[in-house]
Each structure stands twice: as C-alpha cells, then as structure tokens.
Amino acid sequence: MTAKLSFLALLTALTTATTAQTTSATAPKATPKAATAHHAAATTAHPAATTAAPECSKLPELSPKIPTLPAGTPCAKPLYTIVSEPSVKLQYVSPLEGPGLRETLGLAPTSFSLDYIDTKIGTGELAAPHKWYTIHYTGYLVDGTKFDSSLDRGEPISIPYGQHQVIPGWDTGFDGMRVGGKRRLFIPYQLAYGANAQRQIPAKSELIFDVELVSQSDEKPQPKTAPAPTGSTTPAQPATPPPTDPAKPSTTPPPADPTKPETTPHPQDL
C-alpha cells in the first residue's frame, strides 16, 4: 500500500513538472509585443514622410534674355500641382490608328504646376485673401520676349486678388508672400491664356512673371492725380509764327499702323 502511494505521488509530481514545462514553452513571450509595437510605430511614421517638401521643379530652358536670378536663390517649387484624368477610356483601338489618338481625343492625362521662386522676402504684412493688391510686374515668354511691364510704364497695377479678374496663375500666385516681397512665377499655359494666342503671346505659351507685391488694401486704390499747376504753363504766342524749318521732321505723328496692336496685353485681358 505504501509502495503504491509512493508511485502515485511520483507520477503526480512528474505530471505537474511536464505540464509546467509545456505551459512555459507555449506561453507567448514579451519580446514579440515590443517588436509589434515598434512595427506599428514605424508604420504610423511612414505616412508623415510623404508630406515632405517637394523637390525642385523641372523648368523649361529659359532664354538668356530673361534676367538671371541672384546667386544663392532657391530652386523653383510648386505652389500646387493639378492632375487631370479623363472620365472615359478607350476600350479598343485599331492597329490603323496612330499612337497619338488619346491626345487627339483629349483622353490623355495631364499634369501641370504653378511654380515659383521667392527672390526677396518681404517684411510687410502677409498677403491676405480678398484684398486689393498693388503689383509691379514684368512678363516674359520662354524665348526671352518681354511682352509687358508695369515698370516700363512707371505705374503699378491693382487687382482684386482671388476674384477671377486676372489669369488663374495671378489669381493664385501670391499666396505666402509679404508686402515688399518679390517672386518669379512660372505659369503654364493652362493657368495663363490657354490654347489661344493673345496678341504677342502665341497659343499654349508658358509665361514667366517677375512680380513685386507693393501693397495691399481693403478698397481699390485711387489713381494718383496730377499736381495742380502753380501758374500758367502756356507759353506766350509770338505775334507772327516762325518759318518752318524743312530740315526738321514734322511734329505731326504718323498715322497708326492698323496691323500692329496699340496696347500690350496684361493679366486682366484673359
């Protein structure tokens, strides 16, 4: 009887030890939890990397006629990029058709950006929406043709920003500037004058504008008035007119050439 009890006690002890070893071997370890947590943290951090600042934009080759920017000027970056995907797709294309069918039919996806370079950081107020901006500007084609400049006229222009009264590239191109700042805008034709020619500007022309935000106001700035004359500025008429010198050209202006435009386009003309 005693031997039988000893055998049962030994069997119970062995069973208990075996169960403990099995439980220890099959129990989950703490290390995988830490690894899982680390992996989750890494996964969470990954999307943040996709919001990093974009790289430098690829610009067209510019003519040396366009003023070179100062050394140390940062590269061009997009203010925004627009991608257009067609709502319909070609289901079948005959081998007789050329490779440009999608573009011909307007079914090819397009992508374009409004790029900018801040050439001078202003120290005034931050440009605010729905204000009147007073701007100096000079516009160039990629080939270096200067088609318009307020500096040449000696008078800036004023626009209601964001009110669709200028080309889209101007209506959205001053965000982030401060009064007194200068910027070079690279405006694709989709955000400029489109697929139609505009006087000196050929169809589908990318435009380069050097702009300066002179001031901003809630109301439209009033045009400058000429100072009142302090005295008579009309010269006295001689008793008899002097004889005309035939060697000097006539002061009468020549007739206007109807084949040439009288004015140059600026961004309000869209």
The catalytic residues are 137, 147-148, 167, 193, 209
Classify burial at 162, counting beta carbons within 10 Å of its beta carbon; exposed 0-12, middle 13-18, buried 19 or more: middle
- C-alpha 223, offset from chain centre: 30
| 258, two tokens | 């109807």
SS3 content of the chain, % helix, strand, coil (to 5): 25, 20, 55
d(CA 67, CA 73): 13
d(CA 136, CA 182): 9
Residue with tokens 């500096």: 151
Q: Which two tokens stand for residue 260?
A: 């040439």
Q: At residue 190, what are phi and psi to the nearest 5 degrees?
A: -65, -25
- Is 220 within 8 Å of 153 (Cβ atoms)? no
